[in-house]
Amino acid sequence: MATPLEKWVEEQAALTKPKKIHWCDGSEEEARKIIEIGIKEEKIEGTPVFKELNQNRWSSSYYHKSHPTDVARTEHLTFISHPDKDVVGPNNNWMHPDEAKQKMKKLFDGSMKGKTMYVLPYMMGHPDSPYAKACVQITDISYVAVSMRIMTRMGKKVIEKIGNSDNFVKGLHSVGDFSPERRFIIHYPEENLVHSIGSGYGGNALLGKKCFSLRIASWLGFKEGWLAEHMALIGVETPDNKIYYIAAAFPSACGKTNFSMLQSALPGYKVWTIGDDIAWLNIGPDGRLWALNPETGFFGVAPGTSMKTNPNMMRTLKNKNFYPILFTNTAINIDTNEPWWEGLDGEIPENLMDWQGKKWEKGSSAKAAHPNSRFTVSIYNCPTLSKEYDNPRGVPISAIIFGGKRTKLLPLVVEAFDWEQGVFSGARSGSETTAAAAHSVGVIRRDPMAMLPFCGYNMGDYFAHWLSIGKKLKNPPKIFTANWFRTDENGKFLWPGFGDNIRVLKWIIDRVENKAKAKQTPIGLIPEYDSFDLSGLNFTKENWEKLFSINREEWLQEAKEIEKFFCQFGDHLPEKIKAQLNKLINDFK
Ligand code: OXD
Ligand code: MN
């Protein structure tokens, strides 16, 4: 008798009609063979899926050029499909499951003709963890099969674990014809199911990542009493060798990857990496908040990564530990066959091929690497990997940080008065859009807890869920907001950032230990000048004042914007969050 898993795979094969089916065992040997297929057989618009890079300088590294229309997550084509639109909320695109299933059936029908169907059994979280989830993704492209080996714990053991049960997360993915008109990413939270067609891009196609570990998992967390969050996870070791674990939510492209492997500018402090993108937070048996990173790799933005901004990532990319390492849509140095991107150390090479495969004219204003070009690399390559990374229990959290890019308004760091106000400060968070969206530079996009594109249900209910978690915690972590991006009147960043962000972490730990002084303001507690370590930095008191100034007019304006944003959640918005907003307004009046 076929198991539920075998039956499900058979049904998907009957629909998509592949030439053959390959059940992946997750081994290195298999990954080498699949890459070979990507080099020799599979093509996207005539270009092989993989190209080998200079193995002497970039060991185990391969290049992938995606379809030119398929270079980023496509939020407008991403849907949550639940019978009740109200459950999904105004923060998501909604489609009724009947309509979605019908639509997807047509699109998947025969979509794998002439291709290999790869069946990928994988775990999100350590297999021994009570919080881990068994999943199976089907795909029809070698790039996704190999990427999933890097990003998840993939292998035969998962099939044993699933056994005869139907309790596994299902993901059906096909690149289809790559047409943006036929590109959809649809989540069915009630069925633990994701359908994705028309894209091979990471966030759309590696279904264990945003689709499962955030959108579906946030819904599971809502029902089961835990949180799936868009957070980096680090351990900060102090000079007396204590380690404090901190979870930090920053929106996409705000530097979570750099933060997760920060090289400390303060002697005696060290940051240990656990994750750069996703954290699952559970209430442990001791009543504390425990966190784990369900992924096993980094899918990071390449441009801007260098020995200066993130030396530990550069070391990770040169490490031979785990096969393979992928570079997607970067430029290539034609003379040396090495990947290249804007911001990489050294001179700009003479001869570059741009991300579209054309010769790049030196000095051209166009970027050689796509601004969202990526590397995919195993976390086991990371020299700062925490010893606790593989601990099935996860790590106990002492502090949570909500961040964003705000050139005005928000001080470098603010501590919330309590959990409730902390949840409000996460809920009101926003971030400035980047230069990539040409006409909207500096526009604030509200992005509560950095989860706007990833919360799989009504965000009003999500805020209530955060509040209820706090109630259940015996010793809730302190909550902070951080902003590395505040500028002065000339548009110059006030704070050096990068390795100096350890100073903020030090203050946070000192607050956790009740060692540092703080000053009360309407938005929370800010550091006293003499309680914050600025040693070795040429940082004037005048700059400090600017970095921590709180402007009443700006905050009253901000409160109006927050209110407008909150309004859309109607009666799903918790009274306590409304009360926090009213308190903020009153305290500024
Ligand atoms: C990511 C994102 O790729 O947030 O991590 O977009
Ligand atoms: Mn992310």
Helix (H) / strand (E) element for 338: namely strand 338-340
What is the CA(220)–ligand 2 centre distance, in A? Answer: 19
What is the CA(72)–ligand 1 centre distance, in A? Answer: 9
Which pLDDT does position 277 carry in this prediction? 97
The answer to whether 534 and 298 have CB atoms below 8 angstroms apart is no
Q: Which residues pair with 339 in a beta bridge?
A: 332
Output the average pLDDT for the chain.
96
pLDDT per position as a tens digit, 47-85: 999 999 999 999 999 999 999 999 989 999 999 999 999
What percent of the chain is modeled with pLDDT above 70? Answer: 98
Q: Which residues pair with 137 in a beta bridge?
A: 120, 171
pLDDT of 110 > 90? The answer is yes
Instruction: Give the tokens for residue 274.
Output: 């656990």
The answer to whether 83 and 94 have CB atoms below 8 angstroms apart is no
Nearest CA to ligand 1 atom 1: 252
The pick from 201, 212, 276, 277 for probing ligand 1's pocket by mutation, whose C-beta has the most ligand atoms within 8 angstroms, reads 277
The answer to whether 332 and 349 have CB atoms below 8 angstroms apart is no
pLDDT per position as a tens digit, 523-581: 999 999 999 999 999 999 999 999 999 999 999 999 999 999 999 999 999 999 999 99
Dihedral of the alpha carbons of 151, 247, 405, 331, in degrees to the nearest 10: -20
Please report the domains of the chain, with CATH numbers, ordered by start residue: 4-46+72-224 (3.40.449.10), 229-295+387-588 (3.90.228.20), 298-381 (2.170.8.10)
Q: Which residues carry out catalysis?
A: 254
Instruction: Give the tokens for residue 445.
Output: 């996009």
Stated length of the chain: 589
What is the CA(144)–ligand 2 centre distance, in A? Answer: 18
Nearest CA to ligand 1 atom 2: 252
Nearest CA to ligand 1 atom 4: 252
pLDDT of 308 > 60? The answer is yes
Rounded to a whole number, what is the largest CA-CA distance in the chain? Answer: 75
Q: Decide: 277 in ligand 1 pocket, CB within 6 A.
A: yes
pLDDT of 378 > 90? The answer is yes
pLDDT of 218 > 60? The answer is yes
pLDDT per position as a tens digit, 166-206: 999 999 999 999 999 999 999 999 999 999 999 999 999 99
pLDDT per position as a tens digit, 120-146: 999 999 999 999 999 999 999 999 999
pLDDT per position as a tens digit, 401-421: 999 999 999 999 999 999 999
SS3 percent helix, strand, coil of the chain, rounded to 5, is: 35, 25, 45
What is the CA(546)–ligand 2 centre distance, in A? Answer: 30
Q: Decide: 431 in ligand 1 pocket, CB within 6 A.
A: no
Helix (H) / strand (E) element for 92: namely none
pTM of the model: 0.97
**Alpha-carbon distance 569 to 188, whole Å?**
21
Which pLDDT does position 434 carry in this prediction? 63
pLDDT per position as a tens digit, 262-292: 999 999 999 999 999 999 999 999 999 999 9
pLDDT of 437 > 60? The answer is no
